[in-house]
Chains A and B, each alone.
Chain A
């Protein structure tokens, strides 16, 4: 069965494996995600070796259509995030039986 890992599980691991006080573990995880977000908004690339890289791509404006009303609408230019997993992570995940 698929279970979902959340912040709380990662915090538990930081407490257990790094011996951080719980509140500090919570703050540390938050700071890690926040630092990554700031880096993505500013320099558009975050590379975590043996995990993967996050990279921001710019999309030009284009004409889209509201699928419900079929009306044409301009889609504004935007930035989207893509994630490319490292070879290591790919192999680790691929090995698992489907």
Chain B
């Protein structure tokens, strides 16, 4: 499912909202999560999961083509951990097939 398919499905569930409004609302949700992460904050959505920022130490990497050593700076990376509710739902419906 892509973002535009998500918007389409939501607009069917919220017929009194215009398509533009549904689009705006979906953008606000993901922008909020992104902004919180860019400030170093966590986002916790019970039943779905939690987004957080993890720090990766600087390390010596290698250019895969030349095999040359390069120093990779330490950096912050986004991280998502699925919540208990979501983990369980992934493993009931079709998971055991």
Could you tell me which A residues sit within 8 Å of B by CB distance? 2-7, 9-10, 13-14, 17-18, 20, 24-25, 27-29, 31-33, 35-37, 39-43, 45-52, 54, 56, 76-81, 83, 85, 89-90, 92-96, 98
Contacts and interface: CB of A to CB of B under 8 A. Distances in A.
B77 A93 contact: yes
A13 B37 CA distance: 16
A7 to B, nearest CB: 6
A42 to B, nearest CB: 7
- Give the size category of B's interface with A: 35 or more
B28 A18 contact: yes
Interface in B27-44: 28-30, 32-34, 36-44
Interface of B: 1-3, 6, 9-10, 13-14, 17, 21, 24-26, 28-30, 32-34, 36-49, 53, 55, 74-80, 82, 86-87, 89-91, 93-96
